[in-house]
């Protein structure tokens, strides 16, 4: 990593769906090893922002840099070109993503889900990939569920397999899009515990979440978004503890 | 007025009476009896002739050809259909238009017309050449040598099937949620990898019942090739009765074999379905399951 440069940088990012402007000039920087939580009311644009980071949504304008390299576009001389899907795929390998709806591959077992990326995308030797995948499943506490198909796993277990599947690609950065929002309340803890462990190991993470406890305890940086803008950001103690902005105060008060 | 009733917990309610079952059953019984009487007493059916020709080598060879045509047309049709479906869903407007045009044409022209047309292709294009357009010639041959009744039949049947299969497969692909594609994309998979490893396996699993259905349709569609004098099951029967004038018995021979084949295919399809959808643990259980799922009809209960 280039010294002094944030791992991920977002500059003047804008995105509209039809007439509705979802992101208005977003600027954001995430340093390596930092856990950034993005919070805010529904429709504030936080999921869209996360999806713009790996170009699942293509921004209308603005730029995203990973280690100083622009995402989704490429300079050739003094001309800027849009990347093709397959060029973009090479960049996407560097960012893992975990979805609200898990999206495990239903026709593959937990283990097959985890080795899919390394074997198919990186061309890793299958035996090595299986070996690493078992270690990852063990890490998320599912060593004994390796041969289960997703529909035989609980939501919490599926999400933990999804985390292992992303980690198998050895990403530089992990994106979490409301990872616990689709879970029954009693299953939220097991997923957050895995994420907490990842954070302790120094993984750089961007987490869109409604779990204020997680934001307070695990995050190093909290971003509060409303109506497509970053209203307030900083250390959790200040944003969640002593919010400066009226909209942040109102949002946090509603959660109580 | 009420006599002494038994305890409500001690008796089972008498089921709702269904008189329509009995009335309908009676009418059906009379019709079936009349039909059986026709089969037994009408001498024009000539059951002895039916029995004589049922295992005739000419008929059996024709049946083999019918099966071969069915499977080749389905394999080519599905292969082209997958490509068409992918083109139809492509971001490339040229691919989309080309696929739309193919489907429009081959779904619009009756297969019988196509068969005759392909067979007479030599009238339109007397020689087939392979080469670089407006460039050097690599190979050249007479169309009449390439277009036999068999190849004309395969072309006509598989192109028709490809148009229907394309729309069916497109539906299957679209039934797979966008989340699957997104999850695969975030792993860094290319378009082709996502299609081949994630989307198509799931789509084809959904498509097993309609593919089975199309195969049974194709089995019957192959009888059209008799217009090309291609000795399939029907044409073999026709060749025999044109010599012996035993039209009805030989048509019955063909009917029996078509029913045997389509029934067999039905069971094969249900067998695969039961296996793939994981409801059975052993081949035997799958076979039993396929019998059950074939006969079982769920009553409409509003």
Q: What does the block give as tokens for B164?
A: 């229907």
- pLDDT attached to residue B218: 95
**In the predicted model, what is the mean pLDDT of residues B143-150?**
85
**In the predicted model, what is the mean pLDDT of residues A58-87?**
95
Split at pLDDT 50, 70, 90, the class of B300 is low
Tell me: pLDDT of B302 over 80. Answer: no
Share of chain A above pLDDT 90, in %: 96
Contacts of A116 in chain B (CB under 8 A): 187, 197
Share of chain B above pLDDT 90, in %: 67
With tokens 């690599």, the residue in question is B138
* Closest to B222 measured CA to CA, from B61, B57, B53, B65: B65
Split at pLDDT 50, 70, 90, the class of A1 is very low
Whether residue B179 and residue A103 make contact (CB cut-off 8 A), yes or no, is yes
- pLDDT attached to residue B290: 66
Q: How near does any CA of chain B get to the CA of A39, in Å? A: 22
**In the predicted model, what is the mean pLDDT of residues A2-17?**
87
Contact A73, A151 (CB under 8 A): no
What is the rounded CA–CA span in Å between residue A95 and residue A64?
13
Tell me: pLDDT of B301 over 60. Answer: no
Provide the whole-model pTM: 0.83
- pLDDT attached to residue B146: 82
Split at pLDDT 50, 70, 90, the class of A89 is very high
Split at pLDDT 50, 70, 90, the class of B297 is low
- pLDDT attached to residue B139: 79
Work out the mean pLDDT of chain B and round it to a whole number. Answer: 89
Chosen for mutation from B175, B179, B186 (greatest number of chain A CBs closer than 10 Å) is B186
Fold (CATH) for B50-299: MetI-like fold (1.10.3720)
Work out the mean pLDDT of chain A and round it to a whole number. Answer: 94
Q: How near does any CA of chain B get to the CA of A102, in Å? A: 8
List the Cα angle A29/A30/A32 in 5-degree steps. Answer: 140
Q: How near does any CA of chain A get to the CA of B179, in Å? A: 6
Split at pLDDT 50, 70, 90, the class of A3 is low
Contact A89, B185 (CB under 8 A): yes
| DSSP designation for B228 | G
Tell me: pLDDT of B289 over 80. Answer: no
The crossing angle, in degrees rounded to 10, of helices B57-88 and B93-108 is: 150
Ordered by start, the domain boundaries in chain B are: 50-299
- pLDDT attached to residue B296: 61
pLDDT tens column, B168-200 = 999 999 999 899 999 999 999 999 999 999 999
Burial (0-12, 13-18, 19+ Cβ within 10 Å), B167: middle
Split at pLDDT 50, 70, 90, the class of B5 is confident
Q: Half-sphere exposure of residue B59, counting CA atoms within 13 Å on the CB side?
A: 21
| DSSP designation for A84 | P
Chosen for mutation from B183, B207, B208 (greatest number of chain A CBs closer than 10 Å) is B183
**In the predicted model, what is the mean pLDDT of residues A214-236?**
95
**In the predicted model, what is the mean pLDDT of residues B94-122?**
94
| DSSP designation for B46 | -
Q: Is A24 on the interface with B (CB under 8 A)?
A: no
Whether residue B189 and residue A166 make contact (CB cut-off 8 A), yes or no, is no
What is the rounded CA–CA span in Å between residue A218 and residue A37?
9
- pLDDT attached to residue B283: 65
pLDDT tens column, B248-279 = 999 999 999 999 999 999 888 888 887 777 65
Tell me: pLDDT of B286 over 70. Answer: no
Q: How near does any CA of chain B get to the CA of A181, in Å? A: 16
Whether residue B205 and residue A86 make contact (CB cut-off 8 A), yes or no, is no
pLDDT tens column, A165-205 = 999 999 999 999 999 999 999 999 999 999 999 999 999 99
Sheet holding A69-70, edge to edge: A20-30, A8-17, A61-66, A69-70
- pLDDT attached to residue B278: 66
What is the rounded CA–CA span in Å between residue B90 and residue B97?
10
Q: Is A123 on the interface with B (CB under 8 A)?
A: no
Q: For residue B224, how many other CB atoms are within 10 A of its CB?
A: 23
Question: What are the helix (H) ranges across B132-193?
Answer: 143-146, 149-175, 178-186, 191-193
- pLDDT attached to residue A5: 80
CA separation, residue B43 to residues A236, B48, B248 (Å): 95, 10, 11
Nearest to A105 among B180, B186, B188 (CB): B180
Contacts of B183 in chain A (CB under 8 A): 97, 99, 103-105, 162, 165
Identify the weakest region by mean pLDDT among A172-181, B95-104, B127-136, B226-235. B127-136
- pLDDT attached to residue B132: 81
pLDDT tens column, A37-49 = 999 999 999 999 9
pLDDT tens column, A114-158 = 999 999 999 999 999 999 999 999 999 999 999 999 999 999 999
């Amino acid at each position: 990593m280039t010294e002094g440069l944030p791992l991920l940088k977002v500059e003047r990012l804008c995105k509209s769906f039809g007439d509705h402007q979802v992101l208005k000039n977003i600027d954001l920087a995430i340093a390596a090893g930092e856990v950034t939580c993005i919070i805010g009311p529904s429709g504030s644009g936080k999921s869209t922002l996360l999806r713009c980071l790996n170009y699942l949504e293509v921004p209308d304008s603005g730029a995203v840099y990973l280690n100083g390299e622009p995402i989704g576009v490429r300079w050739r001389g003094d001309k800027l070109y849009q990347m093709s899907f397959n060029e973009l795929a090479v960049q996407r390998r560097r960012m893992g993503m975990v979805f609200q709806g898990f999206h495990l591959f239903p026709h593959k077992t937990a283990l097959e889900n985890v080795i899919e990326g390394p074997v198919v995308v990186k061309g890793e030797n299958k035996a090595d990939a299986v070996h690493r995948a078992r270690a990852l499943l063990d890490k998320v506490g599912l060593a004994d569920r390796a041969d289960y198909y997703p529909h035989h796993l609980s939501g919490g277990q599926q999400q933990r397999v999804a985390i292992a599947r992303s980690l198998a690609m050895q990403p530089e950065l992990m994106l979490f899009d409301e990872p616990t929002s689709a879970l029954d309340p009693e299953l939220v803890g097991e997923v957050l515990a895995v994420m907490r462990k990842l954070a302790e190991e120094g993984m750089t993470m961007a987490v869109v979440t409604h779990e204020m406890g997680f934001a307070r305890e695990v995050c190093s940086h909290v971003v509060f978004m409303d109506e497509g803008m970053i209203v307030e950001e900083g250390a959790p103690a200040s944003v969640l503890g002593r919010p400066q902005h009226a909209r942040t105060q109102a949002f946090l008060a509603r959660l109580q | 007025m009420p006599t002494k009733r038994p305890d409500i917990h001690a008796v089972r309610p008498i089921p709702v009476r269904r008189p329509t079952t009995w009335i309908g059953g009676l009418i059906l019984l009379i019709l079936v009896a009349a039909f059986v009487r026709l089969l037994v007493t009408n001498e024009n059916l000539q059951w002895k002739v039916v029995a004589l020709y049922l295992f005739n080598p000419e008929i059996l060879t024709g049946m083999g050809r019918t099966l071969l045509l069915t499977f080749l047309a389905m394999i080519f049709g599905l292969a082209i259909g997958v490509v068409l479906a992918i083109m139809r869903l492509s971001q490339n407007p040229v691919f989309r238009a080309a696929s739309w045009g193919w489907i429009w044409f081959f779904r619009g022209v009756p297969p019988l017309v196509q068969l005759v047309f392909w067979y007479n292709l030599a009238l339109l294009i007397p020689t087939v050449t392979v080469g670089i357009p407006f460039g050097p010639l690599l190979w050249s041959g007479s169309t009449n040598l390439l277009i036999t009744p068999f190849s004309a039949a395969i072309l006509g049947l598989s192109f028709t099937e490809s148009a229907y299969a394309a729309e069916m497969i497109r539906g299957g692909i679209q039934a797979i949620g966008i989340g699957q594609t997104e999850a695969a994309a975030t792993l860094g998979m290319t378009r082709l990898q996502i299609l081949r490893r994630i989307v198509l396996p799931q789509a084809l699993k959904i498509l097993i019942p309609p593919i089975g259905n199309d195969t049974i349709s194709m089995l019957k569609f192959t009888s059209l090739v008799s217009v090309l004098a291609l000795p399939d099951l029907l044409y073999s029967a026709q060749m025999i009765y044109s010599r012996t004038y035993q039209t009805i018995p030989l048509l019955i021979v063909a009917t029996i074999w078509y029913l045997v084949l389509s029934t067999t295919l039905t069971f094969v399809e249900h067998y695969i379905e039961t296996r793939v959808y994981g409801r059975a643990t052993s081949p035997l259980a799958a076979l039993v399951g396929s019998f059950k799922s074939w006969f079982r009809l769920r009553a409409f209960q509003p």
